[in-house]
Amino acid sequence: MDGFLELAKRIANVVRGWDDVVVVGHYDADGITSTAILVSALEQMGKEVRFINLKQLYTDDIERIQDMGEHFIFADLGVGQLPTLRRSFGKPFVVLDHHQIPKGEDYPLLLHPHFFGLDGAHEISGAGVAYALARVLTGDISLAPVAVVGAVGDVQLVRGALTGYNRDVVLRDAIASGKVFAYRDLALYGRASRPLPYMFVYSSDPVLPGLTANEDAVFDLLRRAGIEYVREGVWISYVDLNEEEKRHLFTELALYLSRAGWSEEKIAKLIGEVYELTDEDLHSPLRDVREYATLLNACGRHGRPEVGVHVAMGDRDRWYSEALKLLHEHREALRRGIEWVEKYGIEDYGNFYFFHARSFIPASLVGIVAGMVYGSGIVPPDRPIVGMAYEEEGFVKVSARASSSLVRKGLDLAEAMRRAAAHVGGEAGGHRPAAGARIPRGAEEEFLRELDEVIGEQLT
């Protein structure tokens, strides 16, 4: 880790000499927070900054962004395209990334956890790498809470808590800044902004047997726990409960789930570390870090990542209300997507489960839908899941997700997708448990056959 900081300092010295900087970030929550952190830091330093967030750094994108400014920092992307970047840019650029590095790639201004024994899938996200540089540049820890949002948005939690650099540096600084508190509690989604009963009714990760999608059973459960969920005519949220109410509720919930066949261990996993931003309203979708990350993802996936960047930089006005609209659209689109997969989608492809959503699911949501289908138990986690959807201009987006136990058995989706994509003239990137690719339309069958073969090899 010392080496990581040393390299961050060397890169900071290069960036200090730049007046005009373009930040090119990934378009998901991790990339949006990475961008916000860097833009904030560079603006603080009085530099001229512009930014753009991209779905992927495809070859045509690299050409398109060249004249946006003088110097470039790539955040949460770039490591897969180093050869192309070096060919296209006549001068030095900085790459801050945590995605898997294609074998043999290195570059003097690449800050990447891989070279310092840090795991880029669980211990540090793109936002953590961006924060490492920003912290050296400005010495300011007030950007750390945004990096916590990035790490959680990148699904880096291990057994329900941040770990590694995410914990030792990012979370520690975030708590020291006074803007974040972390504690162990029932870690269901929507604990801050959803009416209490609907936190259970809408729970999809995990699905709570008998409670998810069953309002009456949830109302009963709350009554048995002695909890009034409407107070003075207003729905309360989970975060409104006091400690005693939370204890009663958990006891009833545990009893209910164990009757439904859940093991003690599985029930205990419902408790995790939760992260709250103390400056945000108690019921705002920005209060709980998981919900905040969803809001940023919604902006990116619906083609408006810049809205998310402004929110992550502190806007709570015009950009924020725009973000709320996108969040609403996002939820609707995901609901429709999951419903579609559940009804028509899943095929057994031998070494993985497969669905092809064509135009029913937007390409930018296919990975989230695959992950939710997987997490919700619609398919068992004994094999990976692979989803496809049409992208513009004759391409197909592919997203693959797998459980950590499969990764422990030797599965590497980033490598498998890269090999299968290369086979049909496509591009790919990602991590062992989650990876994406873009391939030409019509090449799906050939791609799938190759992918099936590689995954089969990895798992034997």
- Contacts to Mn ion by CB under 5 A: 30, 76, 125-126, 154
Q: How far apart are CA 380 and CA 341, in angstroms?
A: 14
Please identify, using beta-carbon distances, which residue of 113 and 126 lies nearer to Mn ion.
Answer: 126
Q: In the complex, what is the shortest distance from the CB of residue 72 to Mn ion, in angstroms, rounded to a whole number?
A: 18
- Edge-to-edge, what's the strand order for the sheet holding 48-54? 48-54, 20-26, 71-75, 94-96, 110-111
Q: In the complex, what is the shortest distance from the CB of residue 123 to Mn ion, in angstroms, rounded to a whole number?
A: 12
Please identify, using beta-carbon distances, which residue of 30 and 412 lies nearer to Mn ion.
Answer: 30
Q: In the complex, what is the shortest distance from the CB of residue 111 to Mn ion, in angstroms, rounded to a whole number?
A: 14
Residue nearest to Mn ion (CB): 30
At 271, is the secondary structure helix, strand, or coil? strand
Please identify, using beta-carbon distances, which residue of 114 and 194 lies nearer to Mn ion.
Answer: 114
- Burial track 283-294 (b if 16+ CB lie within 10 A, e otherwise): bbbbbbbbbbbb
Q: Which of 175, 170, 144 is nearest to 157 (CA)?
A: 170
Q: How far apart are CA 254 and CA 211, in angstroms?
A: 12
Please identify, using beta-carbon distances, which residue of 275 and 447 lies nearer to Mn ion.
Answer: 275
225: Cβ–Cβ under 8 A, 6 or more apart, which residues?
Answer: 245, 248, 249, 251, 252, 253
At 272, is the secondary structure helix, strand, or coil? strand
- Bridge partners, residue 387, by sequence: 355, 399
Packing angle between helix 318-340 and helix 289-301, nearest 10 degrees? 80
Q: In the complex, what is the shortest distance from the CB of residue 216 to Mn ion, in angstroms, rounded to a whole number?
A: 40
Please identify, using beta-carbon distances, which residue of 125 and 297 lies nearer to Mn ion.
Answer: 125
Please identify, using beta-carbon distances, which residue of 147 and 439 lies nearer to Mn ion.
Answer: 147
Q: What is the DSSP string of 273-329?
A: EEEEETTS-TTSTTTBHHHHHHHHHHHHHTT-HHHHHHHHTT--SHHHHHHHHHHHH
Q: In the complex, what is the shortest distance from the CB of residue 112 to Mn ion, in angstroms, rounded to a whole number?
A: 12
Q: In the complex, what is the shortest distance from the CB of residue 30 to Mn ion, in angstroms, rounded to a whole number?
A: 3
Please identify, using beta-carbon distances, which residue of 95 and 424 lies nearer to Mn ion.
Answer: 95
430, two tokens = 């990602």
Q: In the complex, what is the shortest distance from the CB of residue 120 to Mn ion, in angstroms, rounded to a whole number?
A: 8
Q: In the complex, what is the shortest distance from the CB of residue 392 to Mn ion, in angstroms, rounded to a whole number?
A: 23
Please identify, using beta-carbon distances, which residue of 128 and 337 lies nearer to Mn ion.
Answer: 128
